[in-house]
Structures are given as structure tokens and as C-alpha cells.
Chains A and B, each alone.
Chain A
């Protein structure tokens, strides 16, 4: 598991939907040292974007000021059933994409 996304099950067009995402990531600050005293390099998620039906609806630029295993909650207006696509990249250049279906009824 790299991430978990929660959206409500029953959504109607026009509803303001709460979107929650929890990502498994250490958000390493770069200020810590390992058990033999070597500095642990900084590795934080720098940017995260969320697209809904291909259009960007939310983005975040983060730093070591965001807690490990970053959790974000934001809202969006439900339009029609579609995919929420989350993409993020960290300091090591490691990028991930996570997709979650948002079912809109009616």
C-alpha cells in the first residue's frame, strides 16, 4: 500500500465531496542522523496534484513541515462519475500515481 484515498459512496452531482488521502512516506527531514551518526538525506514529497476527469482540482507543495505519512483532506464539487488521479514526487525523484473512482449517481 502506498496510499489510501477515501471518498463518500453516495454522491450526487453538485455535492461538495470531501476527499481524503493518506500516503505512506517518511517525509524525512534531512536533519536526523542514523544510528552510526551519518546524516539521513532529506526526502519529502515536494508536490502532489489531484486531477478529476483529467482537470486539475487541487495541488499541494509540501516540505518537512508536513508530518510523516502525509494526510490531506480537501473538497471538490462532484460533476459526473470519473477518476480522481493523484500524482506526487519526492526529493529522490520517485513519483507515484494513485487512482480512485468517484461514482456520482443521478
Chain B
């Protein structure tokens, strides 16, 4: 089945719409995705953030941003000091080989991100399947 794909876009450009242009630093965030994905319909995903997760210093929210999915802001996970650890796992859909960004906002307002490139051999057909 053929899938129409939106044009390539920098994950950073969508990150800007979330951060309002605030600087995004590299580090602290670790996004685990398989390098080679046979089936984009259910891709195991894990995000961990280096944070003590105390009331003073914790991760507020983790955003998942896709480069090529039709819905590029895939999910947001809100955490807090009661989380104990900043660690989220889920299964995501990926419409083709692309980069995925995990963007974390800390309690002090700073943004940190990690970007992973993946190769998807069978895309999740979340684009318009009618084309």
C-alpha cells in the first residue's frame, strides 16, 4: 500500500512551537528506540531523564515529537516529584524512517532533548491510506 508522506521537517521546528523559542539543551534525556524497526505500528519506546525528581528539581513534562508522522506531536507525559524516577515506556506508531525527539521540560523551566534516528521497513499507515 502506498502512503502519502508530508515533507521532511526538522523536529526542532516543532520543538520551537512547544518551547516558545526557548533554548533546548542536549543531554539529560535518553530516548531508547530500536535502530531498525520491522513494523512501525507498535514500536517500543523508552524515555529516561536524569533528574533527582524532588519537589525542587523534577521533570514536569516529556513530549514526544515525530519528524514525519501526520500528527507530529505524538504525546506528552506529565510527571512530578511523586514519580520517583523520570522514566516512561510506551509503544508508538512511526510512519516511515525518521527522527524522533524526546523533549523534557524541567521544573526550572529549562528544556532538554534527545533525538534518535530509526529505519522503519513497514510503515504504520497513519497517513492517508486512500492515496
Contact = CB atoms under 8 A, between A and B. Distances in A.
Interface of A: 16-17, 29, 31-33, 37, 39, 52, 55, 57-68, 70-77
Contacts of A58: 77-80, 83
A76 B89 CA distance: 14
Contacts, number: 102
The main secondary structure of chain A at its interface with chain B is strand
Given A66-B75, A67-B41, A29 B126 contact: yes
* Interface size, B (range): 20 to 34
B126 A66 contact: no
Residue among B84, B88, B89, B126 with the highest chain A CB neighbour number at 10 A: B84
A32 B129 contact: yes
Given A31-B128, A52-B82, A64-B126, A75 B87 contact: yes
B59 to A, nearest CB: 11
